[in-house]
Amino acid sequence: MSLLRIWVIFFLFTAINAVLVQFVFLPHLLPHWHAGHGLLVGGDWVQFHRLATELLAKIQESGWQAWRLRPDLQAPAGIATIFYYFLQPEPWAMIPFNAAVHASSGIVLIAVLQHLQFNRMASLIGSLPLVIYPSAMMWYTQMHKDGVFILGSLLLLLAWVQLQVSISKVGISKTDQRSNLLLSVVWAFLGAGFIWVMRPYFVSLSLAVSAFLFLLVVLGRASKLFQNKTTPKNFALAFGLGFVLLAIQVPYLYLYGDLDPQSYTPPPARPFDTGIFPENSFIGQKLIGLSRSRDNFRFNPAIAGSNIDTDVGFDSTGDMIRYIPRALQIGLLAPFPSHWFQSGSVAPNTMMRRISALEMSGIYIGLCLFIVALIQMRKRLEIWMILAFNILLLLTFALVVVNVGTLYRMRYGFVMTLVAIGIARCTQYLLERRSTVQ
């Protein structure tokens, strides 16, 4: 099955679900959960719809110069305004866009898996949880930041994995190598751009992780060079293109971006000991920013429904380092079984907790399979690059976000990539075993 055909199937699956939710389930079967306009009660999408209609009125009055990408710093509203203008000022106008984004994320994940030398069938099955899990309906049946953000993150990951595979010439021709290297630059540019659109404050973090992947690629090539398993030209090519992938993300740092506005007065900034890092250095500023962002989540009454570890704050770099094991536990495994059957702040949240019981059961199995795959593929640098990319970015969210529901959305793409590798490896093993038996 071609990638285009798979994309169409993913698109139709997503679009049909969105239509059913907005036109059948909410208004007719679950009217007490319906906030109007096909939107679920209690979500940020209600605010995004209001902002989009207000911005549309300004555009109709004074022209497109009134358009803003982030009205009230909310990019989903700015994007929705475009579709509202040309189609109808209703959330259903966003269904084709949301479905295309979600389907594309599935295809990009398949491409990442195939670069690990999984076959098409194993890669397709591995990508299915990311595409079909019900929690993803929060951003493709409604409207939110996560769909575009996930696509951007996956594209950025694909860029680095494709670079490493192409430089290593693993299972590809010379012609494919050249096209893949060029596409790596395109993927990095688009991926960083999508991240910037939805979460501009995250660009510096994704760039820092990209720098770490660049180091892994260069060290990997240097090791091969010292072993006489590659040429100086190949090493120079890896260094040069890796540098381009980094440089192409830098302009986004200087474009407009800010943290989302808070609906409350944030707590006063507390002193933070940056340790060995100067307070005014890049790393020092990022550490201070993480500490203050966590405080903003801890003391925000608007997101207190499913908070965890709100008593933990960071007063120093040492505090942050000591919390990393707990942050990884929460980032990878929350919500824990003890949370699955508790009641949420509103009825839809209670339903999502029940759904999370099924989803997390699958994630636990997928992560166990990933550990097996990691052991079996431990000599492949690409698998370590994927692990570093997803764990480091997931850890950033887990250090800051104390609300499990919010963290569940934000970490979705990172966790699902690891789950996909585990499932793809298991699937390929079963397919190979079946072929051998026959």
Q: Span 231-255, mean pLDDT?
A: 93
pLDDT tens sequence across 132-183: 999 999 999 999 999 999 999 999 999 999 999 999 875 566 777 888 899 9
pLDDT tens sequence across 90-126: 999 999 999 999 999 999 999 999 999 999 999 999 9
- pLDDT of the residue at 289: 87
- pLDDT of the residue at 261: 42
- pLDDT of the residue at 303: 66
Phi, psi of 258, rounded to the nearest 5 degrees = -160, 165
pLDDT tens sequence across 265-324: 566 777 889 988 898 888 888 899 889 989 988 887 766 668 899 999 999 999 999 999
Identify residue 340 by its one-letter amino acid code: W
- pLDDT of the residue at 2: 93
The share of the chain scoring above pLDDT 90, in percent, equals 75
| Predicted confidence (pLDDT) at residue 262 exceeds the cutoff of 70 | no
Q: Cis bond leading into 335, ω under 30°?
A: yes
Q: Residues 283, 277: contact at Cβ < 8 Å?
A: yes
Domain layout of the chain by residue ranges: 3-259+309-437
pLDDT tens sequence across 50-97: 999 999 999 999 999 999 999 998 999 999 999 999 999 999 999 999
Compute the mean pLDDT over every residue in the chain, rounded to the nearest whole number.
91
- pLDDT of the residue at 353: 75
Between 378 and 353, residue with greater pLDDT = 378
| Predicted confidence (pLDDT) at residue 221 exceeds the cutoff of 90 | yes
Q: Span 385-393, mean pLDDT?
A: 98
- pLDDT of the residue at 258: 43
Reported pTM: 0.94
- pLDDT of the residue at 168: 87
Q: Span 179-196, mean pLDDT?
A: 95
- pLDDT of the residue at 195: 97
